[in-house]
Copies of this chain bind each other. A is one copy, B any other.
Amino acid sequence: MNETSCENCTLCRKEGFRPLRADELKFVAGNRHGQGELAAGRYLIRAGEPPKALYTLYEGWAAACPDVPGGETQITEILLPGDLVGTQGCITGRYSHSVVALTRIRYCILDRLLPEKLVQRGGPLCFALLRNFAEERSRRERMLTLLGNGSPLQRLAYFFLETFMRLRAIGLAAETMCPFPLRRSQLAQIVGLSEVHVSRTLAAMRKDGLIDIANNILFIDGEGKLADIARLRPMVYSQGKLIL
């Protein structure tokens, strides 16, 4: 596993990422403490701990889940390549949720104080951090709406659509399909249903020609139909994801 430097990072070259200016690149590189790798199932950060670092997910999928004492875990967000991990901790002094790798992941390690430095520094990079927060807040808001009064079908339809569009925005999806490594039980923890009921609902969706999941690939047969069912339309801003 050889180290990749910021200068020849392949991720932020992809469409969907705004290229960094020279001085920005230097700033980020100067706050970078190397990179790491983690197997599926291992934890990158733990809820409640003081922040050790800020991370950028570079490859693979991860999940954010608050610790719920003695209850089923709930996944509150799926983290995809390019997403920041641990911002909450670096801002408020405690990680608010754990982050667990869902596949093997690779990530960059950034200075814990990067947000503060960014605020001092100001400029577009700082604004991008703000927009990152806005985007995540907004995404949780939509899921909240779905969990509050959406049917199982609506919840799943929305989640598939959103995930697909997020992947497409960073160049990781094909025309009508995308990688999809999630297990039924993980889907259940995301949409707030039992694993069994997820399975049933998926069977129905498959029969109706909406979607199919096979070999860790999600096939979207009718993006429009899915959107109609979900009622809510996912918003994928990320015209300028930042920071590696």
Binds B, one of A36-44, A68-76, A206-214: A68-76
Q: List, in ascending order, chain B residues with CB within 8 A of A69's CB.
A: 231
A19 at interface by CB-CB < 8 Å: no
Interface string of A124-148 (1 = CB under 8 A from B): 0011011101111110111111011
B137 in contact with A133 (CB, 8 Å): yes
B133 in contact with A134 (CB, 8 Å): yes
Q: Which residue of B lies closest to A77 (CB)?
A: B141
Q: Which residue of B lies closest to A66 (CB)?
A: B145
A165 at interface by CB-CB < 8 Å: no
B134 in contact with A91 (CB, 8 Å): yes
A70 in contact with B138 (CB, 8 Å): no
A192 in contact with B147 (CB, 8 Å): yes
* Residue among B64, B91, B135, B149 making CB contact with A192, cutoff 8 Å: B149
* Residue among B70, B122, B189, B237 making CB contact with A126, cutoff 8 Å: B122
- Range for the number of chain A residues in contact with chain B: 35 or more
Q: List, in ascending order, chain B residues with CB within 8 A of A56's CB.
A: none
A196 at interface by CB-CB < 8 Å: no
Give the one of A87, A116, A133, A142 with max B CB within 10 A.
Answer: A133
Q: List, in ascending order, chain B residues with CB within 8 A of A232's CB.
A: 66, 68
Q: List, in ascending order, chain B residues with CB within 8 A of A70's CB.
A: 231
Interface string of A73-103 (1 = CB under 8 A from B): 0101100000000011001100011000000
Closest 5 CB pairs of A and B: A148-B192, A133-B133, A74-B148, A147-B147, A140-B140
A residues near B, CB below 8 A? 64, 66, 68-72, 74, 76-77, 87-88, 91-92, 96-97, 115-116, 119-123, 126-127, 129-131, 133-138, 140-145, 147-150, 189-192, 231-232, 235, 237
Pairs A–B under 8 Å by Cβ, sample size 8 = A74-B144, A76-B148, A91-B134, A92-B134, A121-B122, A126-B126, A140-B141, A148-B191
A74-B148, A88-B138, A130-B130 given; 9 more Cβ-contact pairs under 8 Å: A64-B141, A68-B145, A76-B141, A91-B131, A96-B141, A115-B127, A119-B123, A133-B137, A147-B148
